[in-house]
Amino acid sequence: MPLLQLPKERRNDSTSLTVQVTPSMAVTMLDALPYLIDYPYGCTEQLVSGAYPLLYGAELDPKLRRSNAGLNQAVGKLLDRQSLDGAFGLWRVGDAEADPWLGAYATDFLIEARRLGAPAPQAAIDRALVALREVSRPDGYANVSYRMDYPDWWAGSSEASKRATAALRRRASAYALYVLAKGGKGDLARLRWWHDVQMKTEDSPLAKAQIGAGLAMMGDRARAHSAFLQAVRSLGYKEETDWYQSPLRDLSGITARARQGIGHPEIMEEVAFELAGSALGLAGSVRRGPSPAQHHGRLTRVLRYMATHSAAPHKLTGLASMAAMSPYHFLRTFRAVTGVTPHQWLLRARLREAAERLANTNTPVTNVALDVGFDDLSNFTRSFRAEFGAAPREYRLAA
């Protein structure tokens, strides 16, 4: 298979092709910036999408200073559309035509703009976050100036429009919960509910990644890992009624959220290989490897090693090398055989070892956590409670 497939209709005597190789896709955006800045329309989505690249352009081109007039003008226009309740209008203040997902997008932009030194007032961001608190509840009445429901004719029938409304609210709530965490107003209980309950029936990969990033920022590493893996496995989803959705947008959004939200090397490595495989799958470039049954002997050797060295850090590439497999196919095969990823398997092995020590020794809880491979007590306590339904000290007393 060729690395680059040229269009069949291309003529060598009348067309040209330029290939640009760069470690960052942002480099290729520079040529598009003038078009974005001069885009002739101006709804809130177009306004924010046109201004967002200006926040990062200075990293690639010193001429594009973050304090430039284009960015200042965009922030000013956006703030002029904010109602007293914190919501943003689609075209003008108070028009109640913007959907809640767009409100989260606009607030996300303002938070990032302020973080990078742009003139985005904290008071305006705080009002926007108050509005998103209403949006973060996917059910019930929301007292905020966003369009929270589609009319009956929207999707062709009343029932289809109700389903579209339910999807709109779910995905807006996921984005709102992420932005609330990013803005320092996170709701950990609702993020956990979204992961434990809502994610079972959610199809949107980006919504799952946003919940994962929110959980990561709030310190729930185990659920964050689970959410990102579920997000990657949902890639390829397409929703015709969602104006802002596409498989490519989901892939880029998950990549950005994973890079931002995952700080643990073992987790990031797994998610990165899953993302790479999914990206190739979307491009139709993944070839099927041997069936998992052919690798049982290799995996047994790796599992025995992991069990006897569960407290040690393990890199996915090292485990794959031990099994004489590529990291991507090792990850797929390991999950097919065990039902979990290597990181999840190690986490459970460490928790089982911790439970045994808590029940049979008087070793302090902190020492137990460090001895079995956890790097901080709070993460150990959260993971232990999620696995056994009780905190470590409670488990010891009941043992």
Gap between the Cα atoms of 189 and 180, Å rounded: 13
Q: Is the dihedral of CA 371, 310, 258, 215 positive or negative?
A: negative
Instruction: Please give the structure tokens belonging to residue 218.
Output: 């709030």
Q: Per residue in 119-155, pLDDT tens?
A: 899 999 999 999 999 999 877 677 899 999 888 887 7
Q: What is the pLDDT of residue 8?
A: 59
Task: Tell me the pLDDT of the chain averaged across its residues.
Answer: 81
Q: Which residue has the higher pLDDT, 207 or 221?
A: 207
Asked whether the predicted pLDDT for residue 165 surpasses 60, the reply is: yes
Asked whether the predicted pLDDT for residue 100 surpasses 60, the reply is: yes
Q: What is the pLDDT of residue 285?
A: 47
Gap between the Cα atoms of 252 and 94, Å rounded: 32
Q: Which residue has the tokens 């990078």?
A: 116
Amino acid sitting at position 169: R
Determine contact, residues 181/191, Cβ cutoff 8 Å: yes
Q: Per residue in 266-318, pLDDT tens?
A: 556 666 666 666 655 555 544 545 545 556 667 778 888 888 888 888 888 88
Q: Which residue has the tokens 């929207």?
A: 154
Tell me the mean pLDDT in the region 66-76: 74
Give the angle subtended at the CA of 331 by the CAs of 325 and 332, to the nearest 5°. Answer: 100
Asked whether the predicted pLDDT for residue 5 surpasses 80, the reply is: no
